[in-house]
Chain A
Amino acid sequence: MLEYVLILLGIAICVCAARVIKGPSTPDRVLAADTINSVIIAVIVVFAAYFSNQMFADVAIVYAMISFLSTIAISKYLMEKRDENAIKVKK
C-alpha cells in the first residue's frame, strides 16, 4: 500500500515542477523548488519504511537541513540586488 502514497507524492512533485518551469519571476521558482524539497523529504521517509532501512531517514534529516540553507542563501542573494523603486527603506 505504500506504493500509492509514493504515486500521490510523485503527482504533487510533477505539478510543482510545472510551476518551476512556468514561473514568471525568480521568487516563484525558488518557492516551488522549496515545495519540491519538502515533498522529497516525505518521499525519502516513505522509502525508509518501504525498504525497512534506517539509513534513509538520516539522509532525509541532512536533506532538510541543506534545503533550508539553500533557500535562505538564494533569498539573501535576491535581497542584495534589490529594486530601489520597489520600496523606500524607512530608517
Chain B
Amino acid sequence: MITLGIAIMLLGGVFAIIGAIGLLRFPDVYARSHAQTVVTVAGTCLVLIGVMIDYYTTPLLVKCVFLIIFIFLTSPAGTHAITKAAYLSGVKPKVKKDEWKG
C-alpha cells in the first residue's frame, strides 16, 4: 500500500536520478553545480519530508526538521565555494563573454 509519505519519497528518488543525469551531461563545472542543487534540494529534502510525514509520531520528525534546515543553510555555501575555487584554479567557463574577467 502506498501512503503519502512513500509517494513523496519516490518523487524525491526520481528527482535525485534526474539531477544525477544532469550532473553527467552538462558541459562544464558551472552548469553542473545547477544539477547538484537539484539533487540536494529536490531529491534529499523531498525524501526527508516523506519520512517526516510517515513517521510523525517518532523523534525522527525533529531530526528530519533539523537536517532540512542544516542542508538549506550549508548546500549553497558549499556549492559557492566549489565554483569559486574552480574559477580561481583556472577552469574556463564555456561561455562567449567571461563577465568576471571583464
- The chain A residues found within 8 Å of chain B, CB to CB, are 1-2, 4-5, 7-9, 11-13, 15-16, 18-19, 22, 25-28, 30-32, 34-35, 38-39, 41-42, 45-46, 48-49, 52, 54, 57-58, 60-61, 64-65, 68, 71-72, 74-76, 78-79, 81-83, 85-87
Contacts and interface: CB of A to CB of B under 8 A. Distances in A.
Interface of B: 1-2, 6, 9-10, 12-14, 16-17, 19-21, 23-24, 29, 32-33, 35-36, 39-40, 43-44, 47-48, 50-51, 54-55, 58-60, 63-64, 66-67, 70-71, 74-75, 77-79, 81-91, 100-101
A25 B39 contact: no
Contacts, number: 181
A75 B60 contact: no
